Amino acid sequence: MENKKVLLGMSGGVDSSVSAILLKEMGYEVIGCTMKLWEGEKEVTEKSIEDAKKVCKILGIEHHVIDLQDKFRCNVINTFIKEYQNANTPNPCIECNKYIKFGEFFEQADKLGCKYVATGHYSRIEYSEKYGQYVLKKAREEKKDQSYFLYTISKEKLSRIIFPLQNYTSKDEIREIAKKIDLPVAEKKDSQEICFIPDGNYTEFLKTYANQKNKKGNIILKDGTKLGEHQGYINYTIGQRKGLGISYKEPLYVIKLDENKNQVIVGTEEDLYQKELQGKNINWIIEPKNKEIECFAKIRYRAKEAKAKVIIEDNNSVKVKFEEDQRAITKGQSVVFYDEDGIVLGGGKII
């Protein structure tokens, strides 16, 4: 008899709740599971667990809570802190997907005898005749696509992952499904981009949890001319224009952060554009057949993919050369590679 047990990650939000409905309709035996991830947001976590439990009770499915706070702190929070201290701009959602949602969560699924793992992500998984394997693909609705955050999933796991929302393009559709059976989370607001910093004030977060003090330093032009003083380089990011507190004959932007010299380097709009980047920690979902591949590369979540050549180097690193200059390539973010059909080939960290 086929194993149709699926462990569904339930955050207490409408996306994962409707995912449970859809999975049941597809004939799966659904087990809901909420992860405790961050002790700093205890009230938010407790509300998420409470809402998920209510939904599971209404739908008549099992619900579990697993405590992954130590794993989350180790793999997500500590990495987030370290990246900022190294003058990089991290993307914690990518680390969370890699180590928690498609790492630790898979282990929990195995313990419970579940063949499949499901989440409320907006992305597609399907079998590709072209590549002869399961592939990760962009969502049907570009604005909702989350494939950028998912490139770290190992290709071996794709056949076990279900994204029940993969054919939906509108949040209104999802809420309507929830309303039809009076789910209490039908109108619940979406969560923030960084779950452990709901107010978005990451500098305060770093002060609190990393004992990170704002060490003042110089703001300089790329030629070395001092223009002013910064309030700690963790307050700045590549491409930033506002809040620099300096005056100059033309608009200036942050073009580099130097943690060794404790400097914020600024330049003109023109100085933000580059044609190349280096990437490390590459995960290939589609194994390249050659040392050079032509593809479309995306340098941040909100960026558009751009034509590029990826040159595969030693030590799991790549050089990416774009056809056209890219604005504000930022260390710590990820570069993700797509083919012409929106299939994720792989990706890695920008260094």
Long-range contacts of residues 302-305, Cβ cutoff 8 Å, at least 24 apart: 305/338
pLDDT band at residue 3 under the 50/70/90 scheme: confident
Q: Is the pLDDT of residue 326 over 70?
A: yes
C-alpha 138/C-alpha 341 separation (Å) is 9
pLDDT at residue 213, as a whole number: 74
More confident site: 141 or 319: 319
For residue 211, pLDDT beyond 80 = no
**Distance between CA 102 and CA 91 in Å, rounded?**
16
pLDDT of residue 192: 67
Residue found under tokens 């570009």: 142
Phi, psi for residue 101 in degrees, rounded to 5? -65, -30
Tell me the average pLDDT across 112-122: 97
99 contacts 73 by C-beta, under 8 angstroms:
no
Q: What is the pLDDT of residues 249-287, one digit of tens each?
A: 999 999 999 999 999 999 999 999 999 999 999 999 999
| Domains recognised in the chain with CATH numbers | 5-120+164-180 (3.40.50.620), 214-267 (2.30.30.280), 272-350 (2.40.30.10)
Per-residue model confidence as pLDDT tens digits over 172-197:
999 999 999 999 999 998 876 788 99
Q: What is the pLDDT of residues 54-79, one digit of tens each?
A: 999 999 999 999 999 999 999 999 99
* Catalytic pick among 33, 56, 93, 96: 96
Estimate to the nearest angstrom the gap between the alpha carbon of 307 and the chain centroid.
22
Across 29-33, 105-109, 197-201, least confident range: 197-201
Between 181 and 199, name the one with better pLDDT: 181
The two tokens of residue 245 are 């507190």
HEC secondary structure over the chain: CCCCEEEEECCCCHHHHHHHHHHHHCCCEEEEEEEECCHHHHHHHHHHHHHHHHHHHHHCCEEEEEECHHHHHHHHHHHHHHHHHCCCCCCHHHHHHHHHHHHHHHHHHHHCCCCEEECCCCCEEEEECCCCEEEEECCCCHHHCCHHHHCCCCHHHHHHEECCCCCCCCHHHHHHHHHHCCCCCCCCCCCCCCCCCCCCCHHHHHHHHCCCCCCCEEEEECCCCEEEEECCHHHCCCCCCCCCCCCCCCCCEEEEEECCCCEEEEECHHHHEEEEEEEEEEEECCCCCCCEEEEEEECCCCCCCEEEEEEECCCCCEEEEEEEEEECCCCCCEEEEECCCCEEEEEEEEC
The dihedral built from the CA positions of residue 282, 286, 292 and 296, taken in this order, carries a sign that is: negative
Structure tokens at 282: 């590459």
Q: Say if strands 161-162 and 253-258 run parallel, antiparallel, or are unpaired.
A: unpaired
pLDDT, tens digit, 9 for 90 and up, residues 133-176: 999 999 999 899 999 999 999 999 999 999 999 999 999 999 99
Please tell me the predicted confidence (pLDDT) of residue 39.
Answer: 80
d(CA 195, CA 77): 11
Cα atoms in the Cβ-side hemisphere of radius 13 Å centred on 292: 4
Q: What is this structure's pTM? A: 0.94
Distances (CA, A) of 78 to 28, 66, 246, 341: 37, 20, 33, 36
Task: Assess whether 195 carries a catalytic annotation.
Answer: yes
CB 266 within 8 Å of CB 219: yes
| Res. 315: pLDDT tops 80 | no
Reading the block at residue 104, the tokens are 């630790």
Structure tokens at 223: 């030629």
Q: Which of 33, 56, 114, 195 is catalytic?
A: 195
What pLDDT digit, counting tens, does each position of 17-48 carry? 999 999 999 999 999 999 999 987 777 789 99
Percent of the chain with pLDDT over 70: 99
Q: Are 238 and 113 in contact (CB under 8 A)?
A: no
pLDDT at 82 over 80: yes
Residue 44: predicted pLDDT: 76
The two tokens of residue 293 are 């591949």
Report the mean per-residue pLDDT for the chain: 95
